[in-house]
Amino acid sequence: MISDKKTLEKVYTARNSEQLMDAYKDWAVHYENDTLGEFGYVAPKATAKTLHTFAAEADQRILDAGCGTGLVGQALRELGYAAIDALDYSKEMLDQAAGKNIYAKHIQADLRQPLEIPNDTYDAVVCTGTFTYGHVDARAFDELIRITKPQGVIVFTIRDGAYQELGYRKRMIDLELAEAWELLTFHDEDYLRAENVICKMCAYRVLSPDRARQEA
Ligand SMILES: C[S@@+](CC[C@H](N)C(=O)[O-])C[C@H]1O[C@@H](n2cnc3c(N)ncnc32)[C@H](O)[C@@H]1O
């Protein structure tokens, strides 16, 4: 079943975290029908493919940050990755992801706050669909760098429009200049294909998590 308009409107017009989580609570069970079925959401597979280009080792430890119902985790599993943890702020989305039995750990946490994850924990972090309007802003980059090992890879999408408007670009470049990470790829990809929405597909190699900490 596709969601009613009211549910989707709540996601798109949420003005704070509480409203957004409330919207995802209602959306969780219909999320995949809507995004995959209606909107032509192709970013999860594209993200997994991008990670595979730069970090193909199957045994690496990966965090799927803003995992939602687990679409990126599924795409990663299809490419042979097996050690994947899931993180999301929405309990209901995380419950959907847990139902798939594809993640080693399920972490409920807010990407806009310091994470209770030790430094240098992951070989790779992916974050798809979460850098967008009303969701998570550029300050989260610092935490993603902190929890990624030096030489680890971070792959994320930023919805077109939000990229230009919400300050992501400035923080990405500041962190490049600080040599906290180096750019591997930055290109346009289809995002919601049926809606003609594209995203920036970004991949970075972490150089020095300490530099991100000093910069913050
Ligand atoms: C559009 S969905 C993308 C989910 C999944 N990555 C995918 O591609 O299908 C965005 C996800 O970000 C999560 N999210 C939004 N704000 C968050 C925050 N502050 N911290 C952690 N997760 C957040 C939402 O709960 C939702 O599951």
DSSP-assigned letters across all residues of the chain: -PPPHHHHHHHHH--SHHHHHHHHHHHTTTHHIIIIIIS-B-HHHHHHHHHHHH---TT-EEEEET-TTTHHHHHHHHTT--EEEEEES-HHHHHHHHTTT--SEEEE--TTS--SS-TT-EEEEEEEEEESTTS--TTHHHHHHHTEEEEEEEEEEEETTHHHHSSHHHHHHHHHHTTSEEEEEEEEEEEEGGGTEEEEEEEEEE--HHHHHHH-
Q: From the alpha carbon of 110, which atom of ligand 1 is closest?
A: 20
CB hemisphere CA count around 102 (13 angstroms): 24
Tell me, what amino acid is at 83? A
Which residues of the chain, if any, have pLDDT below 70? 1-5, 209, 211-216
Give domain 41-215's CATH number out of 3.30.460.10, 3.40.50.150, 3.40.50.620, 3.40.190.10.
Answer: 3.40.50.150
Distance 111 CA to ligand 1 centre (A): 9
Can you give the residue ranges of every domain in the chain?
41-215
Strand partners, 155: 126, 203
Asked if 162 and 172 touch (Cβ cutoff 8 Å), the reply is no
pLDDT at 100: 97
Which residue's structure tokens are 């847990």? 98
Q: Which of 84, 89, 193 to mutate to test the pocket of ligand 1 (most atoms within 8 A of CB)?
A: 89
pLDDT at 211: 65
pLDDT at 212: 65
pLDDT at 1: 63
- 187 close to ligand 1 (CB < 6 Angstrom): no
